[in-house]
Structure 1
Amino acid sequence: MSLGDDNDGFGGGSGQTRTRLPEGGSGDPYDGTRRPPARSSRSLITVVGVVVLLIAAIAFANRKGGDPEKTDANPSAARNPTSATGVRPVTGKNGPIPTGFARDEQGAQSAAVNYAVVLGSDGMFNRASRHQIVDTVYTPEAAARLKGPQDAAYSADFLSKLGLDAEGKAPAGHTFVSRTIPVGTKVEQSDRDTAKVSVWYTGLIGMSGAGSTDPVRTTWKTWTFDLRWTSNDWKITADSQKDGPAPVPGDIAASSADEISEAVEQFGGFTYAR
């Protein structure tokens, strides 16, 4: 993973850690009314150190019923990129992280989307869980480069600016949200030992709770992963992010803080597979 890119992204861009920092303001940001954002998408994200930081869960492709080991029998599926395709998801895991992907394009896509989910999760804000994540999804060489700079970036001072304590925990009565939600993947390059896969995703980031100055917001990004076949699995050697594509915002009024907190607690994440 390069440490020189200046990507405005959540989670790991090629060496930049960016996040939204709270700004002053009055009133309840979750008052149920829709309002224009007070800052641009870029001003909501500040550079802080290195690599993977905020956001998210990545919603990628839902499997259809029937035999999960067979590809979709619907002939229109090949023409419809939103149709579920592919083989059964991996059954292996290292803690909460799916592992053991197939050594082909489909496996590389599945690995990229699952890695984006975990790298955008709130687990990145705790040192022990962050180290486990990085050791699992990156090559040993890349992981060794990243952990020191990441620890410096996720300092107690930085976490406090997000409203978190030194262990990455939210205060009582508040819920910290950091998820990547996949929309789709694209193979940029692939051979037997290497692959480059882009993941288009929307993200959630912020603090849900009464009086929060950094309410949960959405972002749209494309996260590109350079993968290498290492130790019988796909591992990340480098990654980068860029803004968009972003759709026109809808007209749905913002939910209350309680509704957001309940949704985060009640709706779990997924293991994704192509």
Structure 2
Amino acid sequence: MSLGDEQDTTTSGGYGGTGQTRTHLPGGNGDVYGGARRGGRSSSRSLITVVGVIVLLIAAIAFANRGGDDSASGSEGAGSQPEVASTAASGKSPVASKAGGIPTGFTQDQQGAESAAANYSVALGSAEMFNKAQRDAILQAIITPSRVASLEATLDNAYTPEFNKNVGLNEDGSAPTGYTFVSRTSPIGTKATEVSGSSATVAVWCSGLLGIAGDNSTNPVTSSWFTITMKLEWAGGDWKIVTHSQQEGPTPVPGDDRASSADDMTKAVEEYGGFSYAR
């Protein structure tokens, strides 16, 4: 997703997948991936992923105190380094219920808000966001009820046939015959900057994949790094998104790994499922 042009997702824009992907011309072996060195990080992903990838070009919210822990407990000073516990597993059982494949039933506390935000990032940056019916189901599950209708309309205007073609898809959002569309968001860490009884603000640092896997693809799968900030409210017995925004990075220095072949990438997407996240 292109993260360069962000807008508030409650008013316009979209998630994971809205930018352009880098074009790699196929080599002599006909495999756009094979043997290619991985370049710098992709500038092609905006959110939904993440998401997006993502089609809403959302308004950037500065990722404050990147190394700090601004949780509502107030036990640490601003700008201090997070403790191991802020990213380690809590030992508590994850949620036991799902709605449309998305975990639900989070606890009404900081841990529950961070878990909800991480799981919602995965949903917003998924390939399902490019399908109208699946996208609406996702929004019904994770957006606060008063905001669902307006966001559905915004995203319907964002995921246009022209947009799908720019991403490398067919006009209806399906992948071309013989190709696999990849749009995934993976949370790396979460940071709660405000938590009260019925509201929370959580930043989710993510990595994402976006592109078309297949021989001779001119939109090969590339990776990106971005941070999604969500304002949540407690509604109907669970955390729901009120607003969310996305900004680029923090981005690590890219390694020197060789890109996998188109066939290996397709198999990986088909064989490796995603995770549910819980703190």
Provide the TM-score with structure 2 as the length reference: 0.79
Q: Which runs of 5+ in 2 are unaligned?
A: 55-81
Q: 1:237 and 1:218 mapped to 2: Cα distance? A: 27
In the alignment, structure 1 residue 146 sits paired with structure 2 residue 161 = no
How many percent identity over aligned positions? 45
Contact 1:9–1:243 under 8 Å retained in 2: no
The residue identity in structure 2 corresponding to 1:29 is V
1:102–1:23 distance in 2 versus 1, CA, 3 Å: closer
Match of 2:234 in 1: 229
Contact 1:9–1:221 under 8 Å retained in 2: no
The Cα shift of 1:31 comes to 2.1
Q: 1:45 and 1:245 mapped to 2: Cα distance? A: 14
The Cα shift of 1:46 comes to 7.7
Match of 1:79 in 2: 84
1:13–1:216 distance in 2 versus 1, CA, 3 Å: farther
Q: Please list the CA deviations of residues 217-273 of structure 1 after superposition, one character each: whole Å capped at 9, or x if unmatched.
A: 110111110000000000000001111111110111111101110000000001111
Q: How many residues end up aligned between the 2 structures?
A: 243
Contact 2:6–2:13 under 8 Å retained in 1: no
Q: Please list the CA deviations of residues 121-147 of structure 1 after superposition, one character each: whole Å capped at 9, or x if unmatched.
A: 000000000011111100112111111
Q: Which runs of 5+ in 1 are unaligned?
A: 1-5, 56-76
Match of 1:31 in 2: 34
The residue identity in structure 1 corresponding to 2:244 is D
Match of 1:58 in 2: none
The residue identity in structure 2 corresponding to 1:106 is Q
The residue identity in structure 1 corresponding to 2:254 is P
1:135–1:11 distance in 2 versus 1, CA, 3 Å: farther
Residue number among 86, 92, 101 corresponding to 1:96 in the alignment = 101
Residue number among 143, 158, 167 corresponding to 1:162 in the alignment = 167
1:87–1:8 distance in 2 versus 1, CA, 3 Å: farther
The residue identity in structure 2 corresponding to 1:202 is S
1:177–1:7 distance in 2 versus 1, CA, 3 Å: closer
Contact 2:4–2:248 under 8 Å retained in 1: yes
Q: 2:124 and 2:238 mapped to 1: Cα distance? A: 17
Contact 2:184–2:209 under 8 Å retained in 1: yes
The residue identity in structure 1 corresponding to 2:196 is D
Counterparts of 1:183-198 in structure 2, within 5 Å, are: 183-198=188-203
Match of 1:19 in 2: 18
Match of 2:130 in 1: 125
1:7–1:258 distance in 2 versus 1, CA, 3 Å: closer
Residue number among 113, 116, 120 corresponding to 1:111 in the alignment = 116
Contact 2:18–2:45 under 8 Å retained in 1: yes
Q: 1:174 and 1:133 mapped to 2: Cα distance? A: 24
Q: 2:267 and 2:3 mapped to 1: Cα distance? A: 32
Provide the TM-score with structure 1 as the length reference: 0.80
Residue number among 265, 268, 271 corresponding to 1:266 in the alignment = 271
Q: 1:24 and 1:104 mapped to 2: Cα distance? A: 44
Match of 1:8 in 2: 4
Q: Please list the CA deviations of residues 123-173 of structure 1 after superposition, one character each: whole Å capped at 9, or x if unmatched.
A: 000000001111110011211111112111111222122222344221221
1:29–1:261 distance in 2 versus 1, CA, 3 Å: same
Contact 2:45–2:210 under 8 Å retained in 1: no
Q: 2:6 and 2:185 mapped to 1: Cα distance? A: 9
Q: Please list the CA deviations of residues 155-212 of structure 1 after superposition, one character each: whole Å capped at 9, or x if unmatched.
A: 1222122222344221221110000011110001001100000100100000011111
- SS of the equivalent of 1:129 reads helix
RMSD, aligned CA: 2.8
The Cα shift of 1:26 comes to 2.6
1:222–1:190 distance in 2 versus 1, CA, 3 Å: same
Q: Which segment is superposed worse, 26-35 or 187-196?
A: 26-35
